[in-house]
Structure 1
Amino acid sequence: MDRLIRHMTLEEKVGQLFVLEVYGQDANTVTPAAAAGNQRLYGVDTPAQVVDKYKPGGIIYYTAARGPDNVQNPRQIATLSNGLQAAALGQRKPVPLLISTDQEGGALVFRLSAPATAMPGNMALGAGRSPADARRSAEVIGAELAAVGINQNYAPVADVNVNPANPVIGVRSIGENPKLVADLVAAQVDGYHDGGVAAVAKHFPGHGDTTVDSHFGLPEVTHTRAQLKAIDLPPFRAAIREGVDTIMTAHVVLRSVDPSGAPATMSKPILTGLLRGELDYDGLIVTDALDMGGATSTYPPDVAPVEAFKAGADQLVLAPQTDVAFQAVLDAVRTGEISKRRLDDSVRRILSLKYKRGLFAQPFVDADRAETVVGAADHLADAQTISDHTTTLVKNDAGLLPLPRDPRNVLVTGWGVTTTRTLGEAIGRRGQAVTVVETGLTPALARIDAAVAAAMANDLVVVSTNNAASVDLTTGLPTASAAAQQALVTALLATGKPVVVAGMRNPYDISRLTAAPTYLATYGYTAGSIEALTRAIFGEISPRGRLPVTIPRADGTGALYPFGHGLSYS
């Protein structure tokens, strides 16, 4: 490895620091949409040409929702990965790529959809309390990613979500208890390694107590050093003990460690002093995306990558204006602002991970095998079993649940076109006559009236909510979406029909829906979560999930339901 570093040019070394996105589903095919994206960012047409131009250390895959449209099906993804690796190995100094993505599990942050296995998300795993489930979940995700040539997963999320108003973490976190989070993060690190991919613990030094989304602004974490040690750092310490390959930075201000107010991504006291020095971490440090508002609002394109690298980061993810960013880092090395020794240290860490993951020996994958691994029957079965362990029965005051299997007319309503349809189908398979009335995230009065009318014609109502407790932090009042969902549930309860409320995302909705006598939390809306919810409603399983967070009273006077609360049928 040192011999390779000695024979790399300065430009080749700097290229290893960058993680780029590419447009297109094939490395070499020119399509109008992909070429337009690659031309806009890089001045070339194809993903392979991007690799040839910049010789980056990594590529990150995204769906069409962001633009790159890299992931369609297992064979296509595997073929793209192989094509990109072939382009990297065709350079003067062949160095394989770290190919990464964000596949956290759950229904919020994922890139591979069906036929890929949808494992439950982090907070669902927190409700299940099982390190074995957390490890197996990560192993399945890792095995499916590895099969398509993705060798690094930007997971697990190691943030401790102690703020119910957190707009960006929420159910992406395992919960509010540092030990629980640490235990399951460690299990996931092991699972990803077992599955064959590098694990990335994020977002250091902790994004769990923020009220600003760092995609759009720069949050500040006000934790003292003592709070940081007690709350935020235990999961990262656990990940380091388990040999985590990479730690991702957070675009958050933490003045108790760096009084300057620099984001952690650009803070030497946080990355070099705290992470490398105090936590004794010598693995790879990768930035969160440098095109996020938490970075771009403070640092221009020629400054952000240099400052992040000087702070202690090794890899720079999605630096805006790649030509500008690349040249800025190159110039900083040439002028001595960044020492060549410091550059070599980061390149060595990057290459070491590639050696560790076996990429120099075997960078390519078998596209035929990918089709058999992704969505394998045993993966799907394990996903359902694990999901069955996570559903939390928070409230059953009227003793409505479990429902007998007697035929009845059931209205399924509330948020989510796919969610309500899938839930309706699952209930229908239990011999119930189902009507589905989807009302949207912010139901208008006409939609509420339609749901009420449908409720009057049915025997039972199951209503799904999504962040129905969210509050506008400037006014302290419910957001428009939350207020409308609360109005929907209130109107349904007023019909006198039995109503089952299912909180399909953050479990805090019950704090604003206390009149509802029956409430379950699913922490997500994957097909497995919805099936587990239905099984719990009909008593096919006894709910065993326990709240991984405290549900506060809406008036702020204390806990409505404590951490660890959960009902069962036995």
Structure 2
Amino acid sequence: MSDMDIRNEFIDNLLGKMTLEEKVGQCFTFSWRGSIVTPAVKALIEKLHVGGLRIEPYTAESARSTYYGKSLADTNYEKPEGYTDMPKTYFTAKTPGNYIMPSEYATRINELQWIALNSSGGIPLNICTDNEGACTNDYQFGGMPGYPALMGLAATGDLELTRKVGKAIAQQLRAVGITMLHSPVCDINVNAANPEIRFRGFSDDPETVAEFVCAFSEGLIDGGIIPMAKHYPGRGDSSTDAHYELEQINVDKDRLHDVELRPYKRMIEKGCLKGVMTCHSAYPLVVGEDLPATLSKVLVTDILRNELGFDGVITSDAMGMGAIVNRYGLPNACVMALQAGVNLMLCKSDDETREQVYYRMLDAVRKDEVTMDQLETSVRKVLEAKYDQGLFENAQVDAAAATAFVRNPEILEVAQQAAEKSLTLMRDEENLLPLSQDRKVLIIEQLKMAEFTPNDIYQGHWRLNREILKHTDNVINADCTFIPTVDEINFLCDLAQEADVVVATNFFWRHAGNKANTELVERLIAEGNEVVVVTNDPYAEGAPATAGTVLNCWSLMGESLQEVAEVLFGKKKAGGKLPVGNFQEYVGDSKAEVAEELVPA
């Protein structure tokens, strides 16, 4: 009997033993926020038979939370027969999670896997997370190194280094107990005004993205993680954020195949497309209606499955985004997604929506809105992914070794190499670099949002200040909130008069309302200061047209900020090359015009 026959027989036998309730539960990924194993998270496994957990230890689990500012509960929801309320946790929402070392967190994931394996179904969990580099790192505790954004990896021009980064990330996360990564981003960022993707994608060139996404995915697979390539079929040509509204991407099928689908087709050719995450954008010229891709049988089944021949597991993006819930409501949308061919519905909410989506799906199967064949087809894909990863035999990890592994010297060296090689001097029109120790430097460093930031020496606040102090004491140390207030801007502009040159971070972060520190930077320039902009974003917000000196480190993380200081003081050269051509270029001396707009009367 071949390995494939053994696998099929195992899954056939398992499906034959599973109850309807267990089959429905396997089609969901719910969030586990924080790091406390509460009755609420246990109930997801024991009562809702959940297929996986999306871990977010940086914040607190709470039934009081909202998703992008609103509750996702369907106020028109009618409880079907058998509906049971789950235990809930009422911690204060948006509270930074407890600092937890990798070994302790791995112990708690092992506990959850034990509960799953010893439940009636005996099915292990997918433990999922995000790690795209830059500021998208759901697990960054205990000295977990930071990596450049994916566009920063493309800036290195080094496919082998990109492969090593993928493997390093996977090895570190797998040591903690994480099994599936909601990455890499395959989107071709052809729209420079894109508020959501930007540097999260590798490039605005389809061929560059195809090459780098394969290298990164091969590394993830080699490190023991299932990569979920996203956001199928593509969100690079978007001018809105799907978290808030449905975007219409008006490309025809020929363009879709040539641009958006090129990375997916290349990954299938190379055998490294193991999982896909769908997006919530509409493609009316392809589908014939403005239906989000996640809910479109044409895109999910007809094209991805049948035309491209993809045979792995398909997950949705977070179903709570405005593009979905504003039109369809969360419970009904989950049913529509499964009907379209999605196998895993990702529901990142910590309230009664867990029960609503589960019991709505159960009711849909009982009423034949979802056929048993559709349900079992999806469950089979989920089980195949778990089987292929060996989770039925080895779901738990060596928790005691996790902390040391996260700080493995060889892996840390890969992270530092990526930070160094990605560093890109976008321009230095005013020849400000390298900085001289004879000139007083005002350092203005944005404070990262506390909810997402471990308060430690590795990735905590003021890292750029600390790194610059290794090179000179002739500084004024300062900070500002991530998006500074008017009072902060006024204070810092006054302070700049005491310095010869200003080094100001201008980091872009979608969690900060798709904004950067642009207003302060442009005001400093308008008032005649010499300003070195340190950014993670090559577009207009991160590198405004009035900024003559822009150093792009592609990240807010400590490893990249260390390299920034080295380049600022001439110890190293920035060798990265911009992998995009649609960035905003320097317009020359326009201080007078900007001054009139930004300087207060």
TM-score, L = length of structure 2: 0.82
Contact between 1:413 and 1:461, CA under 8 Å: does it hold in 2? Answer: yes
* 1:459 and 2:500 aligned: yes
**Of 322, 330, 335, which residue of structure 1 is paired with 2:354?**
322
CA deviation string 1:432-452 (max 9, x = no partner): 422122244444554344334
Q: Does 1:127 align with 2:155?
A: yes
In 2, the alpha carbon distance for the partners of 1:551 and 1:513 equals: 13
In structure 1, give the amino acid aligned to 2:354.
T
* 2:373 is aligned with 1:379: no
Aligned mates of 1:555, 1:374 — CA distance in 2: 41
Shift of 1:71: 7.5
The answer on whether the counterparts of 1:443 and 1:488 sit within 8 Å (CA) in structure 2 is no
Alpha-carbon distance, 1:175 to partner: 1.6
Contact 2:237 2:249 in 1 (8 A): yes
Q: In structure 1, what residue type is equivalent to 2:164?
A: R
Greater shift in the superposed pair: 437-446 or 163-172:
437-446
Matched residues in 1 for 2:33 and 2:565: separation?
40
Query: 463, 468, 490: which is aligned to 1:422?
Result: 463
- Alignment correspondent of 1:139: 167
Counterpart of 2:523, as a letter, is: A
Matched with 2:532 is 500
The 1-side partners of 2:501 and 2:58 are apart by 39
1:419 positional shift: 8.6
The separation in 2 between residues aligned to 1:434 and 1:378, in whole angstroms, is 34
| Residues 202/71 of structure 1: CA separation in 2 closer, same or farther (3 Å cut) | farther
Identify which of 30, 38, 41 aligns with 1:47: 41
The residue identity in structure 1 corresponding to 2:204 is E
In the alignment, which residue of structure 2 is the partner of 1:150? Answer: 178
Q: Is the 8 A contact 2:57 2:138 kept in 1?
A: no
Does residue 287 (structure 1) correspond to residue 316 (structure 2)? The answer is yes
Contact 2:152 2:422 in 1 (8 A): yes
Q: C-alpha displacement at 1:146, in angstroms? A: 0.6
Equivalent of residue 200 in structure 2, options 166, 172, 186: 172
2:515 corresponds to 1:486: no
The separation in 1 between residues aligned to 2:301 and 2:161, in whole angstroms, is 34
Counterparts of 1:109 and 1:214 in 2: how far apart (Å)?
A: 20
Identity of aligned residues (%): 31
For residues 148 and 220 of structure 1, do their structure 2 counterparts lie closer, same or farther at Cα, with a shift above 3 Å needed? same
State yes or no: 1:182 paired with 2:210. Answer: yes
Unaligned runs of 5+ in 1: 28-33, 35-44, 474-478, 557-570
The 1:519/1:22 distance shift into structure 2, 3 A limit, reads: closer
Using the alignment, how far apart are the partners of 2:582 and 2:121 within structure 1? 55
Partners of 1:500 and 1:480 lie apart in 2 by: 15
Q: CA deviation at 1:550?
A: 2.2
Structure 2 portions without partners, runs of 5+ = 1-10, 63-96, 449-458, 588-601
2:100 equivalent to 1:72: yes
Deviation at 1:282, TM superposition (A): 1.2
Shift of 1:459: 3.1
Distance 1:387 1:533 in 2: 9
Instruction: State the alpha-carbon separation in 2 of the partners of residues 82 and 510 from structure 1.
Output: 41
Q: CA RMSD in A?
A: 2.7
How many residues are matched?
A: 527
Q: Which has the higher contact order (CA 8 A, sep 6+)?
A: 2
What residue is the counterpart of 1:88 in the other structure? 116
Q: Structure 2: how far apart are the matches of 1:481 and 1:458?
A: 19
Q: Distance in 1 between matches of 2:99 and 2:24?
A: 28
| 1:58-102 C-alpha deviation (Å, 9 max, x unpaired) | 111113436365873212221111111111111222111111111
CA–CA distance in structure 2, aligned partners of residues 231 and 70 of structure 1: 42
Paired AA for residue 50 in structure 1? L
CA distance in 2, matches of 1:420, 1:64: 15
The 10-residue stretch of structure 1 (453-462 or 438-447) with the greater mean CA deviation from structure 2: 438-447
Distance 1:422 1:344, change over 3 A: same
2:354, 2:138 → 1: CA distance?
Answer: 25
Task: Check 1:24–1:547 CA distance in 2 against 1; reply closer, same or farther (3 A cut).
Answer: closer
Q: Which residue of 2 aligns with 1:532?
A: 563
- Output the CA distance in 1 between the equivalents of 2:419 and 2:586: 32
Partner of 1:196: 224
Matched-pair contact (CA < 8 Å) for 1:486–1:513? no
1:396 alignment partner, one of 400, 408, 428: 428
Q: Which residue of 2 aligns with 1:21?
A: 31
Relative to 1, partners in 2 of residues 1:519 and 1:481: Cα closer, same or farther, differing over 3 Å? closer
* 2:303 paired residue number: 274
